[in-house]
Structures are given as structure tokens and as C-alpha cells.
Amino acid sequence: MGAEHYPPPWFSVAPMMEWTNNHYRTLARLISKKAWLYTEMLAAETIVYQTGNLDRFLAYGPEQHPIVLQIGGNNLENLAKATQLATPYGYDEINFNCGCPSPRVVGHGCFGVCLMLDPKFVAEAMCVIAANTNVPVSVKCRIGLDGHDSYNELCDFIYKVSSQSPTRHFIIHSRKALLNGISPADNRKIPPLKYEYYYALLRDFPDLQFTINGGINSIDEVNAARMEGAHGVMLGRAAYSNPWRILGLVDSSVYGAPLHSITRRQVLEQYQVYGDSVVRMYGNKPNIRDVVKPLLGLFHGEPRNVVWKRKVDAALLHCTTIKSLLEETLGEIPERVLDAPITEVPSGSTDMFIKYYVL
Ligand SMILES: Cc1cc2nc3c(=O)[nH]c(=O)nc-3n(C[C@H](O)[C@H](O)[C@H](O)COP(=O)(O)O)c2cc1C
């Protein structure tokens, strides 16, 4: 099934290593039917050297569509082979990572965000990826790195990659990366967000598709970005730490579908069936803690959330199924919270992006 069969990527959940795995994506899809989901970044080498073990890295449930595979790498042969090996898994788009500042990644030759300094290579990589798949390809990048952070340099990168490869969709994490040894977490906080670069790209490359990313924390902000012209909006940390209030409103508030009537109790019942099937299949690997982890944001901001999370922590020491863990802990959450469907919250400010329109 190709991307054209799905709602447009107006809203997507960002690729996040060790976070947007199968467990989180299963939970996300129970709450939103329309959000586009990205995998964690998978290095091309991991795919190429694990050919006997591909399901572990590439398999996912059919309900997870639309789903995008993000790959990383700096070796054209491996990128080609990895794309070929991933193709039978039926991802809806292949995304190439040009934004990761992790020293583990940057240290392995030029990989992740430092590829932004070599747009010719990125264009070649995108040609190779596109030649080995029949689905669209996209690039996720920053607005620059270190001293290479002018708008002109960003335009040069976008121009060269888009004119020398079939790439038509760019996801712009709207801050630069600092490769001076600060941690990946600080690299998502310290460099300032410059949404004006993103909006200037919309103006200067009207034939391309751009998704905005970085520091967007609510559905009001998603809609504000779209009202200012953003083609798509990608959320990372907020969609992970507060899935109910973010993903629960995506289908209705972003895509205009009727408000979902599902409750968190029903989400948990369905997730428990998935989680216990994983635990039965793989035993302690992945262990229950990994399966439970995405649930920990489900009651974000609700009464007794902290008490519940502490109880989950204690229950993880002895529970062997998700069912028993939920039975032991859910008494902490008020019934009215468990049984309430998602509700629209009054709209807040929607002008946060207006000032960024003109660079
Ligand atoms: C734990 C974690 C892991 C991440 N892993 C990746 C990754 O594998 N690939 C990638 O392109 N970005 C990765 N990112 C960056 C996010 O995709 C996103 O660009 C960043 O968090 C900014 O968006 P946000 O402010 O909405 O969180 C990661 C972020 C986090 C928090």
C-alpha cells in the first residue's frame, strides 16, 4: 500500500531511538488512527549485517500504517542493500537521518547531522535509496551545525539534495546541532529554535514539502503552525510524554474526524493483549519494563499519576504479565479518569508562529 492511500502527513510522531519502538507505536495507534508514525533510526549496517534476524528490527503490526522507516548511514552500498532488505516490510516512506548529533553516530565518519556539510553525498544517498524502493523518500535534518548555520547554507543543502535526487519532502528540526561535545539531550534544548528558517523555506521552495519539528508541545501549536502554512508538523517528546492529550486529539483537531470515543481503560485493555503476547513470545526479552514504558505517560497531568507510576515501578519487580501489573496498580487512578473519553480543551493562543513568517 502506498502513501497516497493514507491521510496526508499533517501530523507525525518523530523518530526517537529507544522510544518509538514497536511498543510505543502500538500504543500510539490505539489512540490515533491518522498520525504518521516514524520508527527509531536504524543504521543501514544493522540491517545489512543482521540478515538472519531482520524481523527483530523491521517487523511491525499492520495497524501501524502509515509508518515511515528512518535509516542512517554513510555508505552508499549499505544504504542500497538496507533499503532493498527493508522493502518487503512495506513501509510507507523511507526517511534518511541527517540530523542526529550523537557522538556515537557523528564519530563514525560523517553520519547524521554532519552529512549536512556534504549535500552532494546526501543527494547520492537519496538516489540510491529511491532506486531500491517504490515508496517516497524524505530527509530529516537540522537547520545547520556549528558555524554552518546561515539560512543560505541551509538553502544550498535543500537545493542540491532536491535538485540532484528524487527527494521532495524535508523534515526540518528547526535548531542547529552543536558538535562540541554537548549531549544529544542538550542538543535538543540548547541551540535556539529558529522557526523563521522553516517558514522561509516554504516561501523559497514552493515545489517541495516541508514538515516543521522542534519544541512543539500541544495540538493548538500544531494547528497554529499549519495555519501559518506548514505542510506537516512533527512532534517528538510531547507525543511520547503525553500521548493521550496529544495523540487523542490528532484525528479530530488536525484531520477533522469525529472525536474518538475510546477511553484510557479501553486503550489499556487492548494494549495489555498486545503486551502479554509479546511477553509470551519473547519471555524476558524484551522484558516487561520495556513493554510498560510507553504507558507511563498515559495519565500525564492527572490526579494520582505520580502514585500510580511509583506503584508500577514496585509491581515491575514481581509481575510476570501486563495483565497482573495493571490489575495491581490501576486502582490508584480514579475511575472517572479511566473511563472518560478524550475531550477537546479550550483553544489557547494560536499566533505563536505568525512572527516567523518573514525572514
Ligand atoms: C530519546 C530521543 C531519541 C531520538 N532519536 C532520534 C532518531 O533516532 N532519529 C532522529 O532523526 N531524531 C531523533 N530524535 C530527535 C527527534 O526526532 C526530534 O527531532 C527532536 O526531539 C525535536 O522534536 P521535539 O521538540 O518535538 O521533541 C530523538 C529525540 C529523542 C528525545
Residues facing 339 on adjacent strands = none
pTM of the predicted model, to two decimals? 0.95
Q: Which residue has the cell 516567523?
A: 356
Q: How far apart are CA 211 and CA 139, in angstroms?
A: 10
Q: How far, in Å, is the centroid of ligand 1 from the Cα of 76?
A: 24
User: Other CB atoms closer than 10 Å to residue 239's CB: what's the count?
Assistant: 29
Q: Which of 299, 244, 262, 264 is nearest to 28 (CA)?
A: 244
> How large is the average pLDDT for residues 134-149?
97
Nearest CA to ligand 1 atom 1: 16
C-alpha cell at 5: 492511500
236 among the known binding-site residues?
Answer: yes
Q: How far, in Å, is the centroid of ligand 1 from the Cα of 212?
A: 13
215 among the known binding-site residues?
Answer: yes
Tens of pLDDT, residue by residue over 112-127, are: 999 999 999 999 999 9
> How large is the average pLDDT for residues 22-50?
97
Q: How far, in Å, is the centroid of ligand 1 from the Cα of 40?
A: 9
Which residues surround ligand 1 with Cβ inside 6 Å? 14-17, 19, 40-41, 70, 97, 99-100, 140, 173, 188, 213-216, 235-238
Q: Which of 134, 142, 151 is nearest to 112 (CA)?
A: 142
Q: How far, in Å, is the centroid of ligand 1 from the Cα of 332?
A: 32
Residue 1: pLDDT band by 50, 70, 90 thresholds?
Answer: very low
> How large is the average pLDDT for residues 228-233?
98
Cβ burial of 152 (10 Å; 0-12, 13-18, 19+) is exposed
Tens of pLDDT, residue by residue over 80-101, are: 999 999 999 999 999 999 999 9
126 among the known binding-site residues?
Answer: no
Tell me if residue 98 is catalytic. Answer: no
103 among the known binding-site residues?
Answer: no
